Chains A and B, each alone.
Chain A
């Protein structure tokens, strides 16, 4: 494996960007889907009518960006580390849906979010130690 690049090409930064892109794209997709829900005709089940919303197009761009940054992450980080960390989206998306979309989060769901957070903290701790040694 080659030396890890620094600055903007740092794989940890790219992993963070990938996660932010995924979260933003999901929120935009939901907004776009809401905006176009009344347009659904006979082809409504395909979701294609959502393409009428600019938010959906922005989301598509973000999905592509998240895929490119993820590929960059795969060049440098082990999958068994990067993939569990990428699951932080399961915390960010519900919290952002609560903050920005006014969705309600049940106690059970908060419990699930807490479990994911705990798992992430356990995964991230040895990684931080590993990075220090490098």
Chain B
């Protein structure tokens, strides 16, 4: 795997996480201001954009590498999303949530490489 492809794996992962966070922000805003307001529409559009970028980056990587090589990295998304949800969205992370997220990530990686 070239350094560029390796970097692209993480760019795709980063775009996926940012997409989820921004969509979460958008849906929370929709509770307060409805679906017509800019406060909803801007993060919603950004979320769709980030998810689309991530989707096509992964599709491009899959054309060059095996699914079993690319997919374990997706397991990381559970841990990264849990951590960023705390930092960015100020959600509370309890010890069971941390342990559970770590086990799920490890399990996904194991399913992928087997």
Contacts and interface: CB of A to CB of B under 8 A. Distances in A.
Interface of A: 1-2, 45, 71-72, 74-75, 78-81, 83-84, 87, 90, 94, 106, 108-109, 111-126
B105 to A, nearest CB: 8
A119 B102 CA distance: 7
A116 B31 contact: no
B101 to A, nearest CB: 5
Given A80-B85, A116-B108, A123 B30 contact: no
A113 B104 CA distance: 9
Contacts of B113: 108
Contacts of A80: 81-82, 85-86, 89, 91-93, 97, 101
B63 interface: yes
B36 interface: no
Contacts of B63: 45
A71 B47 CA distance: 11
B110 A74 contact: no
A87 B99 CA distance: 15
Interface in B76-101: 77-78, 81-82, 85-86, 89, 91-94, 96-97, 99-101
Given A80-B86, A81-B97, A87 B91 contact: no
A94 B97 CA distance: 24
Closest 5 CB pairs of A and B: A119-B103, A112-B110, A115-B107, A116-B107, A123-B100
Interface residues of B, number: 38
A72 B23 CA distance: 11
Central interface residue in B77, B92, B100, B113, by most chain A CB within 10 Å: B100
A126 B101 contact: no
Given A79-B81, A87-B78, A123 B96 contact: yes
Given A119-B101, A119-B104, A111 B96 contact: no
Contacts of A75: 27-28, 30-31
B2 to A, nearest CB: 19
Contacts of A125: 96
B49 interface: no
Given A79-B81, A83-B20, A122-B99, A116 B30 contact: no
A75 B105 CA distance: 24
